[in-house]
Amino acid sequence: MEQFLHDISWVVPLRTPELTVFFNGLTWLGYTTFFLIFLPLGYWLWDKHMFTRLAVLIIITGLINGFVKDLFHDPRPPVQFALDPRTAESYGFPSGHAQVAFAMWLWLAYEIRRTWAWIAAILIAVGVCASRVYLGVHDLEDIIGGSLLGLATIFAYRTLVSDEFKFWHNANPLLQLAVILAIQPLVWFIWPGTKGPGGNFALFGFLFGWWLGVVIERKWIHFARPSNWIVGVGIAVVAVAALVLSFKPLGQLLMGLGVAKVAAQWIQTAIIGIYTTAFVPLLMRVTRVSQTTPA
């Protein structure tokens, strides 16, 4: 059993140039660039409430994954198997790709409540998991652990968005933002190891910026999906392209100004959050691309 969970040498003979391209495409669905495209477009063009719930879920499961990785310090498979150079020095167990894939895609299916959505979600999640083994950066133990944690996150999250937490949903927005800020030093304090959460801490910046934008949008903008779809999609494509292209330069600019790396990443993702949930919706309202005030 130990060999089955940790030995991935069997994958090497299965590799072909075509499969490598295919699985690289699937594994891209778990990287930052994908989320910089998918979450904003979903918020602007599909359903802002659904994608706010989805963004918060991704943030939560991402933080859990980083915490557990730093708790176990489980190494990845030997580097000679790796075809994905983007893993840096992060640990293997549990797989973040597997955890986020199962949490994200199955939650979307749960929200949509259609058979086709469940089928698509399972196929994508399993495909992302398979890509990590194929590319040699995770073993089966990493994948199984990540998948189970992703599923567990969904079940817990259902309670968090239910009426059982109505007191939080109806709380003063300033109190909500204050709580989001207040829990961050606590998480840093309890994080395993002596170096703290490192890059994982940027997820808190994203959460704060996203929620700040949501508060602003609900009070003053009242954004709805574009009524003029041609112009709306055009603005969304340009806005998401600007977001992707400015992501790295923004972080470099902040560090160039002397901001510490962890703080720069926090500010960077907070700006991305508020850009997504407030700035672009305001732009669409001002240009009258979105004219319908949601209920």
Nearest to 145 by CA among 161, 158, 159, 132: 132
pLDDT at position 295 = 45
Beta strand extents in the chain (DSSP E only): none
pLDDT in tens, 233-264: 999 999 999 999 999 999 999 999 999 999 99
pLDDT in tens, 7-33: 899 999 999 999 999 999 999 999 999
pLDDT at position 18 = 97
**At a CB cut-off of 8 Å and minimum separation 6, what does 207 contact?**
56, 59, 180, 273
**At a CB cut-off of 8 Å and minimum separation 6, what does 109 contact?**
117, 118, 120, 121, 122
pLDDT in tens, 69-92: 999 999 999 999 999 998 877 899
pLDDT at position 228 = 83
pLDDT range class, residue 292, cuts 50, 70, 90:
low
118-125, Cβ contacts within 8 angstroms, sequence gap of 24 or more = 124/26, 124/29, 125/98, 125/101, 125/150
Phi and psi angles of residue 197, each rounded to the nearest 5 degrees, phi first? -75, -10
Task: Give the other-Cβ count within 10 Å of 104's Cβ.
Answer: 28
Task: Give the other-Cβ count within 10 Å of 246's Cβ.
Answer: 16
Nearest to 40 by CA among 288, 203, 213: 213
Provide the sign of the torsion angle of the four alpha carbons 243, 160, 94, 125, taken in this order. Answer: negative
Specify the higher pLDDT residue, 195 or 126. Answer: 126
Calpha distance 269→59 (Å, rounded): 11
Task: Give the other-Cβ count within 10 Å of 271's Cβ.
Answer: 19
Question: At residue 127, what is the residue type?
Answer: G
pLDDT at 283 over 70: yes
- Per DSSP, the three-state class of 283 is helix
pLDDT at 124 over 50: yes
pLDDT in tens, 156-208: 999 999 999 999 999 999 999 999 999 999 999 999 987 889 999 999 999 99
CB 207 within 8 A of CB 180: yes
Q: How many helices (H) and strands (E) does the chain have?
A: 13, 0
- Determine if the pTM surpasses 0.85: yes
CA atoms within 13 A on the CB side of 196: 13
Widest pairwise Cα distance in the chain: 61
Lowest mean pLDDT among 50-64, 81-95, 255-269: 81-95
- Per DSSP, the three-state class of 16 is coil
Residue 196: DSSP 8-state: T
Which residue do the tokens 């994908």 mark?
34
Mean pLDDT score across all residues of the chain: 94
Beta strand extents in 133-255 (DSSP E only): none
**At a CB cut-off of 8 Å and minimum separation 6, what does 282 contact?**
217, 221, 223
CB 56 within 8 A of CB 203: no
pLDDT in tens, 199-239: 999 999 999 999 999 999 999 999 998 888 888 999 999 99
Specify burial of residue 142 (Cβ count, 10 A radius: 0-12, 13-18, 19+).
buried
